Amino acid sequence: MATEAIEKVHVLIIGSGPAGYTAAIYAARANMKPVLYQGIQPGGQLTITTEVENYPGYPEGIQGPEMMVHFEKQAARMGADIRYGIATKVDFSKQPFIVWIDEEKIIEADAVIISTGASAKWLGLPSEERLNGYGVSACAVCDGFFFRGKEVAIVGAGDTAAEEAMYLSKLCTTVHMLVRRDKMRASKVMQDRVLNTPNIKVYWNSDTDEILGDKKVEAVRIKNNQTQETQDVPVSAFFVAIGHQPNSDIFKEWITMDETGYIQTIPGTSKTNVEGVFAAGDVQDKNYRQAVTAAGSGCMAALDAERYLSAKGTI
């Protein structure tokens, strides 16, 4: 297919979700005429989340996909140009920046906001996928509240898993924690906290064999990877805490990242090492990963972009 003519824009936002849509709202209101490409998962991780109760302004809670529709409609009403498409390649070596969409369309942008998010790592079980949103979750802080007073399971061995197990222990009667090896990767202080919490039961050398339940999680089948013995533990929820993968691969040649691929921004800003390129949301946040913090960083990115373009005299 022939390459289309180059399109020039002031601000290109790559990725949707709370960060991208909030950046689009602010950029549009500042008359920057932003163009937003929604990426491979329009609306981001919230589109696979059921009930959202911890985002301010929704006293009755709201379904994740519905919330993202609201975000998108608000950005469009402000004048953001929202499009389907995936950024497949970038060239940040000179200005204006060049971004390829779907490997064929070329965009030249005076400023770029990266809000491509991060994807939770999963175990890869069919039952995990089938029950996702029905007791299976990759975010204890998001969904633990729904299972207060219940027994739950969590799989993982790092600091995030330990922190989420501690969080769940304050809400749930028992937290069954599955660790694949005979020790955790978590820091010593986090391990001590987990091991000294009476209602966290750690299963060493244990794999998740199956998540059981028809329409919701009812139990987890745990397999000891030394003895090969299995046991079914009744639980109401199964939390996967084996890490997230930031969606940042196409930017690696140009943008400074940490060892796991999270984009590094100048503290207190959304600025990357490339002047005029900004990052917001989970692609640069390995600590909080909440819709409200992503939205806040999207606001920061739009304001930083506005100041950058104003100083250049572009807008």
Domains and CATH numbers, the chain: 7-119+244-312 (3.50.50.60), 122-240 (3.50.50.60)
> What is the pLDDT at residue 43?
78
**DSSP per-residue string spanning 256-288:** -B-TTSPBP--TTS-B-SSTTEEE-GGGS-SS-
Kindly state the average pLDDT of the residues 5-33: 96
Residue 287 to residues 131, 160, 269, Cα–Cα distance (Å): 26, 9, 16
Residue 2: pLDDT over 70: no
pTM of the complete model:
0.84
Is 300 a residue whose pLDDT tops 80?
A: yes
Residue pair 255/263 in contact by the 8 Å Cβ criterion: yes
Would you state the pLDDT for residue 1?
A: 43
High-pLDDT (> 90) share of the chain, %: 88
- Given a cut of 70, is residue 3 above it in pLDDT? no
Q: Is the pLDDT of residue 8 over 80?
A: yes
Give the pLDDT confidence score for residue 113 in this predicted structure.
98
Average pLDDT over residues 101-105: 93
Question: pLDDT averaged over the chain?
Answer: 94
**pLDDT tens-digit series, residues 227-247:** 999 999 999 999 999 988 999
CA distance 178 to 55: 30
- All residues at 6 or more sequence positions from 255 whose CB lies less than 8 Å from its CB, including other chains: 92, 114, 248, 263, 272, 273, 274, 277, 279
List strands edge to edge, sheet with 219-224: 206-212, 219-224, 230-234
| Amino acid 40: pLDDT | 79
The strand order across the sheet containing 200-203 reads: 136-137, 237-240, 151-155, 174-178, 200-203
If you average pLDDT over residues 132-155, what whole number do you get?
A: 95
pLDDT score recorded for residue 142: 87
Which among 136, 135, 177 is positioned nearest to 160, based on CA atoms? 177
Whose CA is closest to 290, among 130, 56, 91? 56
Among the listed residues 49, 79, 4, 212, the one whose alpha carbon sits nearest the alpha carbon of residue 139: 49
Q: Which residues are catalytic?
A: 139, 142-143
Per-residue pLDDT at 136: 96
Axis crossing angle, helix 159-169 with helix 188-195, rounded to the nearest 10: 30
Q: Mean pLDDT across the stretch 186-203?
A: 96
Confidence class for position 117, pLDDT limits 50, 70, 90: very high
pLDDT of residue 114: 98
Higher pLDDT, 298 or 63: 298
Tokens of 162: 């330990």
